[in-house]
Amino acid sequence: MIERYSRKELKDIWSEENKYKIWLDVEIAAAEAMEKYKIIPKGVASIVKKKGKIKVKRIHDIEAKVKHDVIAFLTSITEQAGIKARYLHQGMTSSDVLDTTLNVQLVQSGKILLTDIDKILSVLKKQAKKYKMTPCIGRSHGIHAEPITFGLKLASFYAEFKRNKERLKNSIDNISTCAISGAVGTYANINPKIEIYVAKKLKLKPETISSQIIPRDRHAQYFTTLGIIASSVERVATEIRHLQRSEVYEIQEYFSKDQKGSSAMPHKKNPILSENLTGLARIVRGHVIPALENVALWHERDISHSSVERSIGPDANITLDFALVRLANLLDKMIVYPKKMSENLNFTRGLVFSQEVMLELTKTGMSREKAYKLVQNHAKKSLVNKVNLIELLKKDKNITNKMPVKNIEKIFNYNKHFKNVGYIFKRVFK
């Protein structure tokens, strides 16, 4: 977790204070349930709630001696709440507190990430509709292919982030479980009703079956989802980076009045935000493999996952949150150059119509192979000699004997390529 790439809302979720606060919430909820079912005397939960305060430094001081974080926490609370606090944690194990708390933090983080995605969706929808019919060249392998619209590019991003939203909602639901099942998860020393009560109190679901810990396939799904979302961020960022290249220059990141692009070259306006997003996406994806490796633990549990989650929990969520907010702002403020898009569209002098010419020739009875070869040869000449493709086609008797010049001229019209844009938009934005 780096301060530079952290927002307060997410930082607070992963702070020591919030972690211990949730620990206390779990213990108090469990005590309330135990009182309800007459397992411990009445008044334990209320006295702990009233007098138990989170004192991070004191907890750390105790942990330095006892070498156990949950014991240190309980000792600190007992010091404040008095003798009745001895009834806390009855029949529970450390993982009951740790795992339930981790899941609460993931749910808290996930809900903010959902809000971040909603902002991106809102911006993409606005920009896609604005540039719905703005022509630009479509590229495959980085090479000019056929015409599309800039709005279609943005609509594609919108559809992807809409899927990401559903993935994340599913992952949040999947991780929203609570385990208060005791050592090795058999409820030997704690009533299962305690778990049900705590789960309801924390707006979670009781874990179906735990082995002292909540199964890590749930966490693997959550972090994998974050990795997928990060890849979507990079996809958009990569497109922006390519389109801002000097040779292309169809769009540009917002460049403020006093901003500097290069320490050496005053003329430069570098795509630093989208480059930064590419790097942040790599960091988030880097946490996916450790999460997957946490699934296979020894027997009912070990703690090899613990050190991993202490790192990936805050880092993946905080980093992705920052990236999503940055991406939303970038998309909202980006500068689009429709004129340059038009120039680039015409850069290859009509080569983008090669497929249509070939298809029309096949309709005249010419074999596809012959039609392909004819058009390809003229395309090569057009590129080398910098001549418009249509002019070469008009001079070829093999073509004009099959297809009148007026029919050739009809082909060289962009409108055909955009006739289904409205249809696609209806599917995307339904």
Residues 193-207 have pLDDT tens digits of: 999 999 999 999 999
Range 104-134 burial, b when 16+ CB lie within 10 A, else e:
bbbbbbbebbeebbebbbebbbebbeebbeb
Start-to-end CA distance of the chain, whole Å, equals: 38
pLDDT at 1 over 70: no
Please report, as a single letter, which amino acid is at residue 213.
I
Give per-residue pLDDT as tens, 103-141.
999 999 999 999 999 999 999 999 999 999 999 999 999
pLDDT of residue 358: 95
Has residue 261 got a pLDDT over 80?
Answer: no
- Cβ burial of 32 (10 Å; 0-12, 13-18, 19+) is buried
Structure tokens at 368: 């596809």
Catalytic residue among 60, 89, 94, 141: 141
Average pLDDT over residues 19-41: 97
Asked if the model's pLDDT at residue 264 lies above 80, the reply is no
Which amino acid, one-letter code, is at 271? Answer: P
Q: What is the average per-residue pLDDT within 266-276?
A: 88
Residue 315, helix vs strand vs coil: helix
Average pLDDT of the chain, as a whole number: 95
Residues 6+ apart with CB under 8 A from 160: 232, 235
pLDDT at 195: 98
Is there a contact between 25 and 197 (Cβ–Cβ < 8 Å)? no
**Percent helix, strand, coil in the chain (nearest 5)?**
65, 5, 30
pLDDT of residue 258: 75
143-149 and 177-178 beta bridge pairing: unpaired
* 60 among known catalytic residues: no
Q: Are strands 205-206 and 177-178 parallel, antiparallel or unpaired?
A: parallel
The beta-strand segments (E) located in 217-342 are 251-252, 335-336
Residue 250 half-sphere exposure toward CB, CA atoms < 13 A: 21
Model confidence at 97: pLDDT above 90: yes
pTM here?
0.94
pLDDT bucket at 268, cuts 50 / 70 / 90: confident
Q: pLDDT tens for residues 234-253?
A: 999 999 999 999 999 999 99
CA distance 305 to 294: 5
Q: Measure CA 109 to chain center.
A: 12
User: Which two three-digit tokens encode residue 166?
Assistant: 């559903």
pLDDT of residue 284: 98
Kindly name the residue from 68, 262, 307, 367 that is annotated as catalytic. Answer: 262
At 216 the pLDDT is 97
> Which pLDDT score is estimated for 270?
87
Residue 395's CB is within 10 A of a number of other CB atoms, namely 11
The separation between CA 29 and the C-alpha centre of its own chain, rounded to angstroms, equals 33
Known active-site residue 141: yes
- 75 with 62: CB under 8 angstroms? yes
Of all residues in the chain, the percent with pLDDT exceeding 90 is 94
